[in-house]
Amino acid sequence: MENLWANLDLHLDLDLDGPRVGRSLEDALRAAVRDGRLPPGTRLPATRVLAADLGIARNTVGGVYAQLTAEGWLTARTGAGTWVSGVPGHGVPPPAAWPAKSANQPANQLSNSAPGHAESLVSGGPGYDLHPGVPDLSAFPRRDWLAATRKALSAAPDHALDYPDPRGLPPLRGALAGYLARVRGALVSPERTLVTAGFKHSLAILSTALRARGAVTIAVEAYGLPVHRDVMTGTGLRLAPLPLDGEGAVPDDNGAGAVLLTPAHQFPLGMTLAPGRRRQFAEWAAATGGMIVEDDYDGEFRYDRHPVGAMQALAPEHVVYGGTASKALAPGLRIGWLAVPARLLDEVLDAARVLGGGPDTITQLALAEFLTSGAYDRQVRLARLGYRRRRDELAAALSARVPGARVTGISAGLHAVVELPPGQTEDEAIASAARHGVAVYALSWCAAGGAARRPPSLVVGYGGPPGHAFTTAVARLCAALSA
- Do residues 296 and 344 lie in contact, with contact meaning Cβ atoms separated by under 8 Å? no
Is pLDDT at 19 greater than 90 in this prediction?
no
pLDDT at 5 over 70: no
> Residues 93, 98, 99, 103: what is their CA dihedral angle, to the nearest 10 degrees?
-160
Q: Letter for the amino acid at 216?
A: V
User: Which structural domains are found in the chain, ordered by start?
Assistant: 4-84 (1.10.10.10), 128-132+377-482 (3.90.1150.10), 142-374 (3.40.640.10)
Cα–Cα distance between 418 and 29 in angstroms, integer? 40
69-119 pLDDT, tens digit each:
867 788 887 667 888 887 765 544 444 555 554 433 433 332 332 222 333
Burial class (CB in 10 A: 0-12, 13-18, 19+), 449: exposed
Task: Go through 201-231 and write b for each residue having 16 or more CB atoms within 10 A of its CB, e for each that does not.
Answer: bbbbbbbbbbbeeebebbbbbbbbbeebbeb
Query: If phi over 0 gives left and psi between -120 and 50 gives alpha, with beta otherwise, what is residue 266?
Result: beta
Least confident of 29-33, 96-100, 188-192, 397-401: 96-100
The per-residue DSSP string of 343-397 comes to HHHHHHHHHHHHH---S-HHHHHHHHHHHHHTHHHHHHHHHHHHHHHHHHHHHHH
Long-range contacts of 441-445 (CB under 8 A, 24+ apart): 441/121, 441/130, 441/131, 441/132, 443/223, 443/268, 443/417, 445/226
- 478: region left, alpha or beta (phi > 0 left; psi from -120 to 50 alpha): alpha
Cα distances from 82 to residues 73, 93, 126, 422, in angstroms, run 10, 19, 50, 55
Q: What is the spatial distance between Cα 196 and Cα 194, in angstroms, rounded to a whole number?
A: 6
Mean pLDDT of 315-319: 95
pTM value? 0.81
What are 364-382's pLDDT values in tens digits? Answer: 999 999 999 999 999 999 9
pLDDT digits (tens, 9 = 90+) for 258-296: 999 999 999 999 999 999 999 999 999 999 999 999 999
Q: Cβ–Cβ contacts within 10 Å for residue 307, how many?
A: 20
